[in-house]
């Protein structure tokens, strides 16, 4: 046995230096990446949560079925997402969505105690919105000849609405396909920097989106500040052309075929881990939209000032500028086997709309592989200042008018529940169902004549079912 | 992602003593305090850190980073910052030791089983395995490690000491009270006990389970021991120590039974002790030349 | 010297808001991510975007479709 003490030699000094480097460097990296999050392997429930520093891929697939009450819109939407995570925080995401929508949509006109007739341009053969009188309740009509028009354009489509029924166009059918791609990674002192783009195409609409994002973590990763910049460029090329706002509904093809809309906005976000159990996020968003925001298919009734009978039907017209702001506050609380989410959103815009949204969900992890998650959502909005259920024939035309109930004052409530099942440590299957109802004022004080006997709120009731699968792998 | 904690907590003199088993060894943490709640918090944090490091760097777990690297089959594995720092450290130690410290040498243990028996493998067993040893054959750059197919790495010669340093750092972030962290004889203290007194550390005997070979007094820093205690082979009167020379594939000859080194950190103490063992009969000479504070048992 | 530096690095977060690194076990659970099921969130936002006048908040208010 001997205890030695001498001046350190070359190897000893070097080991001393590299040991110090190792411990200081790992102390910093352990602080930054949250020790427990760095814990590799399976959690109590047997799930493989991967974690920072592990490269893995996550596949998400889901099928959404959406069905509105009263034989209105139904949609089937398969979606898939692939997220490829690199070991150093890089992330590549690819997404695809397909949409098949069909059914009847309220055209915006008020119900009447008499039969109403509407005319609209006839889609040529081969278009997916070909309508037969049997299925769509429409008939082909011969338009009065106009000089210089091609033969097919001299035909129109006409549909009728029975007395005391909400006028609906049953010829609505559309397909949509969308692709998204995004990339993000840490870069120097920036915790996350990235960008993405999306493309969506429908038969009468196209949308191109782009976004960039930067985020910085502070305070042992307990605080994140992020900024997202978003842009969207949309083209609307409605069937039959773009109608002139507040002109009479007709079956002619319109000379303007395409209108555009641009949207620019940002989201400033703060995410804070408040305690071991409580995660909070606060977002402020601002968006500016310019261009064509009118629904080209939607009309508004002009009614007689005493009888309330529709005397004419005009295409709606909306302002070309919209500026929106929202404040979103999200909380997630983990206690025992439960995770509670509570969020609130305040939204306001320069169209006079403001809204409050409260959402709550409670995930309860049951024995082993199952969980259930009931949820509820309350929504209230005020009407846009150009919302009119109808126009009156003896009054001057306003500059903008829309009878779209989505721009009216209404409340909406969603009830739902989700059941999830862990198939393996790395995959999960879930099913959820939601029921959504809007309720608004169907009998406004300004209703005239026969309108007093009609329900003027054409709100939606819809069931939403979604089946999804998540799979993580190397 | 909850880490199941199992530590027991007991009053021991002026300290609260937390004890648990991790990394196949008894682990303890002493907190000099009268506050049982503080003792519990420190113990839990220390155990969580020990279990995190054990799970992350265990070569026995397919889902650990080491398991993933070893199962990559010749493909590149990207690693996180913490693993990268440890691999950098191991790489530097390989260079400093002229290839004597090599984290790829673990494959040799398939031939060498140090169970106190006389089963010494033959050269034909060792040769094919020895071809799989050599940190200089791996590609380690830009936080990506590529092992040639068949090769493996093992941070076992490093992880326990690293866990001691990390656990002490975690404990010090919680309390200013004097703390001692001891994972199977590799230990570190946060500073002197109250009243500027020293920690007394017993050096376990290599011969008997409970006997004490000596007592060290420690004010600050760390102690680590490299030794063959009960892990050796004995054949024809030749004692084969469990310290393998990666350059030959055979145990180091005439190594001390154990080397205990004191240093500012447990990682440093452990590395100096390991390199001393690898020097064989020149262990003491090495320790003297490098100016280490060390205790050798032959 | 070394241990002193390690402790100094570890102590920078002592007084700040939020849990210590070893208390982040619950935050590491997948369901504690802000958006654990992106396709579910996307479906919700798509439906509400097409049925209400408000959009965004959680993220971008744009819809990427002509459904509004």
Task: Give pLDDT tens digits for A208-248.
Answer: 999 999 999 988 788 999 999 999 999 999 989 999 999 99
Strands B244-245 and B199-204: unpaired
Which of B64, B92, B267 is opposite residue A40, by nearest beta carbon? B64
- What's the whole-number mean pLDDT along residues B100-120? 79
Cα(B29)–Cα(B183) distance, integer angstroms? 8
CB–CB of A138/A170 below 8 Å?
Answer: yes
CB < 8 Å to B170, chain A: 35
The answer for residues whose C-beta is within 8 angstroms of residue B147's C-beta and 6 or more apart is: B69, B70, B72, B74, B104, B138, B153
Which of C10, C25, C28 is opposite residue B169, by nearest beta carbon? C10
Number of Cβ atoms within 10 Å of the Cβ of A471: 15
Q: How far is C66 from chain A (nearest CA, A)?
A: 6
Contact A38 B1 (CB under 8 A): no
- Among A403, A381, A406, A401, smallest CA distance to A460 is for A406
Q: Is residue B40 within 8 angstroms of chain A, CB to CB?
A: no
Write out the two tokens for A331. 């909380």
Tell me what ipTM this predicted complex has. 0.86
> What DSSP designation does B21 have?
E
Cα(B170)–Cα(B181) distance, integer angstroms? 11
Instruction: Check whether B217 has a pLDDT greater than 70.
Output: yes
At A393 the pLDDT is: 94
Cα(B43)–Cα(B20) distance, integer angstroms? 9
Cα(A27)–Cα(C12) distance, integer angstroms? 11
CB–CB of B51/B27 below 8 Å?
Answer: no
C-alpha Rg value of chain B to the nearest Å: 20
Beta-sheet strand order (sheet of A116-121): A116-121, A155-161, A138-142
Chains that touch B (3 or more CB pairs under 8 A): A, C
CB < 8 Å to B96, chain A: 11, 14-15, 18
Q: How far is A28 from chain C (nearest CA, A)?
A: 7
Reported as a single tens digit per residue, the pLDDT across B56-76 is 888 887 778 888 888 888 888
Q: Is residue B48 within 8 angstroms of chain A, CB to CB?
A: yes
Q: How far is B241 from chain C (nearest CA, A)?
A: 32
Q: How far is A36 from chain B (nearest CA, A)?
A: 7
By C-alpha distance, the chain C residue nearest A201 is C65
At B219 the pLDDT is: 80
Cα(A56)–Cα(B253) distance, integer angstroms? 45
Q: Is residue B181 within 8 angstroms of chain A, CB to CB?
A: no
Contact C3 B173 (CB under 8 A): no
Contact B2 C26 (CB under 8 A): yes
Q: What percent of chain A has pLDDT over 90?
A: 68
Q: Is residue B268 within 8 angstroms of chain A, CB to CB?
A: yes
Cα(B92)–Cα(B98) distance, integer angstroms? 10
Q: ∠ CA A246-A247-A248 to the nearest 5 degrees?
A: 120
Comparing A44-48, A105-109, A169-173, A303-307, the range with the smallest average pLDDT is A44-48
Chain C residues whose C-beta sits inside 8 Å of any chain B C-beta: 1-3, 6-7, 9-11, 13-14, 20-22, 25-26, 28-29
Q: How far is B17 from chain A (nearest CA, A)?
A: 23
Give, for all 68 residues of chain C, the pLDDT tens digit: 333 333 333 333 334 677 765 566 678 788 899 999 999 999 999 999 999 999 998 888 777 777 76
Q: For testing the chain A interface, which of C62, C63, C68 should be mutated: the one with the most A CBs within 10 Å?
A: C62
Which of A4, A18, A21 is opposite residue B292, by nearest beta carbon? A4
3-state helix, strand, coil in chain B (%, to 5): 35, 30, 35
User: What would you measure as the largest C-alpha separation in chain A, in angstroms?
Assistant: 116
Q: Is residue B2 within 8 angstroms of chain A, CB to CB?
A: yes
CB < 8 Å to C20, chain B: 45, 173-174
Q: How many CA atoms lie within 13 A of A5 on its CB side?
A: 2
Q: Is residue C62 within 8 angstroms of chain A, CB to CB?
A: yes
Write out the two tokens for A432. 């959820």
Contact B291 A33 (CB under 8 A): no
- Among A280, A368, A265, smallest CA distance to A326 is for A265
HEC states along chain A?
A: CCECCCCCCHHHHHHHHHHHHHHHHHHHHHHHCCHHHHCCCECCCCCECCCCCCCEEEEEEEEEEEEEHHHCCEEEEEEEEEEEECCCCCEEEEEEEEEEEEEEEECCCCCCCCCEEEEEECCCCCCCCCCCHHHHCEEEEECCCCCCCCCHHHEEEEEEECCCCCCEEEEEEEEEEEEEEEEEEEECCEEEEEEEEEEEEECCEEEEEEEEEEEEEECCCCEEEEEEEEEEEEEECCCCCCCCCCCECCCCCCCCCCEEEEEEEEEEEEEEECCCCEEEEEEEEEEEEEECCCCCCCEEEEECCCCCCEEEEEECECCCEEEEEEEEEEEEEEECCEEEEEEEEEEEECCCCEEEEEEEEEEEECCCCEEEEEEEEEEEECCCCCECCCEECCCCCCCCEECCHHHCCEEEEEEEEEEEEEEECCEEEEEEEEEEEEEECCCCCCCCHHHHHCCCCCCCEEEEEEEEEEEEEC
Cα(B197)–Cα(B2) distance, integer angstroms? 38
Cα(B296)–Cα(B209) distance, integer angstroms? 18
At A245 the pLDDT is: 94
Which residue, chain included where needed, has tokens 């409970």?
A: B210
> Rounded to two decimals, what is the model's pTM?
0.64
Q: How far is A387 from chain C (nearest CA, A)?
A: 12
Reported as a single tens digit per residue, the pLDDT across A5-21 is 445 578 888 888 888 88
Chains that touch A (3 or more CB pairs under 8 A): B, C
b/e map A321-353, b = 16+ CB within 10 Å? ebebbbebebbbbbeeeebbbebbbebbbebeb
- β-partners of residue A467 are A63, A431
At A392 the pLDDT is: 96
pLDDT confidence tier of residue B296, bands split at 50, 70 and 90: confident
Contact B85 A26 (CB under 8 A): yes
How does the average pLDDT of chain B come out, rounded? 83
Strands A461-473 and A56-68: antiparallel
Q: Is residue C35 within 8 angstroms of chain A, CB to CB?
A: no
The answer for residues whose C-beta is within 8 angstroms of residue C19's C-beta and 6 or more apart is: A222, A273, A275, A276, C27
Q: What percent of chain B has pLDDT over 70?
A: 88
CB < 8 Å to B173, chain C: 7, 10-11, 13-14, 20
Q: For testing the chain A interface, which of B4, B289, B293, B294 should be mutated: the one with the most A CBs within 10 Å?
A: B289
Q: Is residue B152 within 8 angstroms of chain A, CB to CB?
A: no
Q: How many CA atoms lie within 13 A of B48 on its CB side?
A: 24
CB < 8 Å to A42, chain B: 63
Which of A18, A26, A52 is opposite residue B92, by nearest beta carbon? A18
Q: How far is A195 from chain C (nearest CA, A)?
A: 13
Q: How far is A197 from chain C (nearest CA, A)?
A: 11
Which of A3, A39, A88 is opposite residue B295, by nearest beta carbon? A3
At A46 the pLDDT is: 53
Of B123-127, B211-215, C29-33, which one has max mean pLDDT?
C29-33
Write out the two tokens for B280. 């064989």
Alpha helices per DSSP H over chain B: 36-57, 65-70, 81-96, 123-130, 156-174, 266-278, 283-289
Tell me the CA end-to-end span of chain B in Å, nearest whole number: 45
- What's the whole-number mean pLDDT along residues B156-164? 90
Cα(A418)–Cα(A362) distance, integer angstroms? 10
Instruction: Check whether A25 has a pLDDT greater than 90.
Output: no
CB < 8 Å to B49, chain C: 22
Q: For testing the chain C interface, which of A36, A208, A359, A409 should be mutated: the one with the most C CBs within 10 Å?
A: A36
Number of Cβ atoms within 10 Å of the Cβ of B11: 11
At C68 the pLDDT is: 63
Contact A230 C52 (CB under 8 A): no
CB < 8 Å to A279, chain C: 27, 32, 34
**Exposed, middle or buried by CB within 10 Å (0-12, 13-18, 19+), for B120?**
middle
CB–CB of A311/A393 below 8 Å?
Answer: yes
Which residue, chain included where needed, has tokens 């006028």?
A: A167
Which of B88, B213, B265 is opposite residue A23, by nearest beta carbon? B265
Reported as a single tens digit per residue, the pLDDT across B283-295 is 898 888 888 888 8
At B235 the pLDDT is: 59
Q: How far is B122 from chain A (nearest CA, A)?
A: 34
Q: For testing the chain B interface, which of C9, C19, C22 should be mutated: the one with the most B CBs within 10 Å?
A: C22
Q: How far is C31 from chain B (nearest CA, A)?
A: 11
Cα(C29)–Cα(A406) distance, integer angstroms? 38
Instruction: Check whether A250 has a pLDDT greater than 80.
Output: yes
- What's the whole-number mean pLDDT along residues A257-262? 96
Which of B45, B48, B264 is opposite residue C1, by nearest beta carbon? B264
Contact C25 B1 (CB under 8 A): yes
Which of B2, B49, B168 is opposite residue C3, by nearest beta carbon? B168
Instruction: Check whether A350 has a pLDDT greater than 80.
Output: yes
Contact C10 B3 (CB under 8 A): no
CB < 8 Å to B44, chain C: 22
CB–CB of B50/B163 below 8 Å?
Answer: yes
Contact B80 A49 (CB under 8 A): no
How does the average pLDDT of chain A come out, rounded? 87
Alpha helices per DSSP H over B175-231: none
């Amino acid at each position: 046995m001997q205890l030695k003490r001498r001046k350190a030699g070359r190897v000893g000094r070097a080991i001393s230096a590299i040991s110090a480097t190792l411990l200081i460097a790992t102390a910093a990296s352990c602080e930054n990446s949250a020790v427990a999050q760095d814990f590799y392997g399976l959690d109590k429930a047997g799930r493989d949560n991967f974690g920072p520093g592990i490269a893995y891929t996550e596949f998400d697939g889901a099928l959404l079925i959406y069905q509105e009450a009263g034989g209105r819109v139904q949609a089937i939407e398969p979606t898939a997402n692939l997220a490829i995570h690199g070991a150093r925080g890089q992330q590549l995401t690819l997404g695809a969505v397909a949409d098949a929508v069909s059914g009847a949509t309220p055209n915006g006109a008020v119900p009447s105690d008499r039969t109403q007739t509407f005319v609209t341009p006839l889609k040529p053969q081969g278009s997916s919105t070909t309508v037969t009188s049997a299925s769509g309740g429409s008939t082909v009509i011969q338009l009065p000849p106009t000089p210089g028009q091609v033969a097919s354009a001299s035909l129109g489509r006409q549909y009728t609405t029975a007395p005391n029924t909400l006028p609906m166009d049953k010829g609505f059918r559309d397909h949509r396909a969308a692709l998204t791609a995004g990339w993000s990674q840490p870069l120097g002192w920036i915790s996350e920097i990235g960008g993405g783009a999306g493309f969506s195409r429908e038969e009468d609409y196209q949308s191109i989106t782009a976004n960039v994002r930067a985020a910085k973590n502070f305070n042992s990763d307990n605080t994140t500040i992020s900024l997202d910049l978003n842009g969207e460029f949309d083209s609307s090329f409605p069937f039959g052309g773009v109608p002139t706002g507040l002109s009479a509904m007709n079956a002619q093809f319109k000379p303007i075929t395409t209108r555009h809309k641009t949207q620019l906005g940002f989201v400033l976000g703060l995410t804070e881990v408040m305690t071991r159990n409580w995660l909070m996020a606060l977002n402020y968003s601002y968006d500016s939209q310019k261009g064509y925001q009118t629904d080209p298919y939607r009309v508004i009734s002009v009614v007689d000032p005493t009888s309330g009978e529709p005397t004419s039907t005009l295409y709606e017209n909306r302002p070309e500028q919209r500026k929106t702001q929202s404040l979103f506050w999200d909380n997630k609380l983990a206690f025992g086997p439960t995770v509670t989410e509570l969020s609130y959103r305040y939204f306001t815009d320069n169209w006079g709309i403001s809204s409050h949204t409260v959402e709550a969900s409670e995930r309860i992890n049951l024995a082993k592989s199952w969980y259930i998650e009931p949820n509820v959502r309350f929504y209230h909005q005020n009407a846009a200042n150009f919302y009119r259920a109808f126009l009156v024939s003896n009054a001057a035309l306003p500059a903008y008018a829309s009878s779209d109930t989505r721009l009216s004052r209404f409340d909406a409530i969603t009830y739902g529940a989700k059941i999830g099942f862990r198939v393996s440590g790395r995959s999960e299957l879930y099913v959820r169902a939601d029921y959504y109802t809007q309720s608004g004022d169907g009998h406004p004080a300004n209703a005239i004549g026969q309108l007093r006997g009609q329900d003027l709120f054409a709100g939606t009731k819809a069931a939403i079912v979604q089946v999804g699968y998540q799979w993580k792998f190397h | 992602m909850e880490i199941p904690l199992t530590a027991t907590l007991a009053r021991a003199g002026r300290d609260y003593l937390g004890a648990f088993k991790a990394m196949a060894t008894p682990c303890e943490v002493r907190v000099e305090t009268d506050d049982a709640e503080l003792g519990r918090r420190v113990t839990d944090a220390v155990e969580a850190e020990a279990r995190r490091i054990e799970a992350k760097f265990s070569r026995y777990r397919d889902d650990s980073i080491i398991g993933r690297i070893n199962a990559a089959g010749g493909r590149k594995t990207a690693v996180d910052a913490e693993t990268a720092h440890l691999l950098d450290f191991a790489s530097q130690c390989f260079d400093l030791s002229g290839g004597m410290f090599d984290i790829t040498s673990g494959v040799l243990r398939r031939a060498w089983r140090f169970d106190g028996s006389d089963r010494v493998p033959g050269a034909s067993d060792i040769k094919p395995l020895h071809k799989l040893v050599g940190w200089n054959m791996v590609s380690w750059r830009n936080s990506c490690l590529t092992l040639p197919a068949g090769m493996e790495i093992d941070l076992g010669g490093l992880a326990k000491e690293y866990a001691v340093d990390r656990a002490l750092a975690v404990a010090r972030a919680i309390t200013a009270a004097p703390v001692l962290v001891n994972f199977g004889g590799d230990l570190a203290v946060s500073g002197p006990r109250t009243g500027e007194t020293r920690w007394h550390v017993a050096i376990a005997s290599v011969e008997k389970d409970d006997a004490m070979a000596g007592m060290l007094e420690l004010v600050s820093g760390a102690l680590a021991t490299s030794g063959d205690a009960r892990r050796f082979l004995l054949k024809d009167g030749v004692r084969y120590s469990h310290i393998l020379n990666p350059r030959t594939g055979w145990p180091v000859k005439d190594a001390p039974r154990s080397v205990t080194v004191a240093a500012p950190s447990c990682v440093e103490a452990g590395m100096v002790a390991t390199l001393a063992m690898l020097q064989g009969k020149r262990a003491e000479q090495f320790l003297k030349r490098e100016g280490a504070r060390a205790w050798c048992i032959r | 010297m070394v241990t002193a530096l390690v402790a100094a690095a570890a102590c920078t977060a002592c007084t700040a808001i939020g849990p210590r690194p070893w208390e982040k076990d619950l935050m590491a659970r997948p369901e504690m991510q802000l958006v654990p099921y992106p396709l579910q969130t996307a479906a919700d936002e798509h439906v509400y975007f097409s049925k209400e006048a408000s959009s965004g908040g959680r993220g971008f208010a744009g819809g990427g479709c002509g459904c509004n």
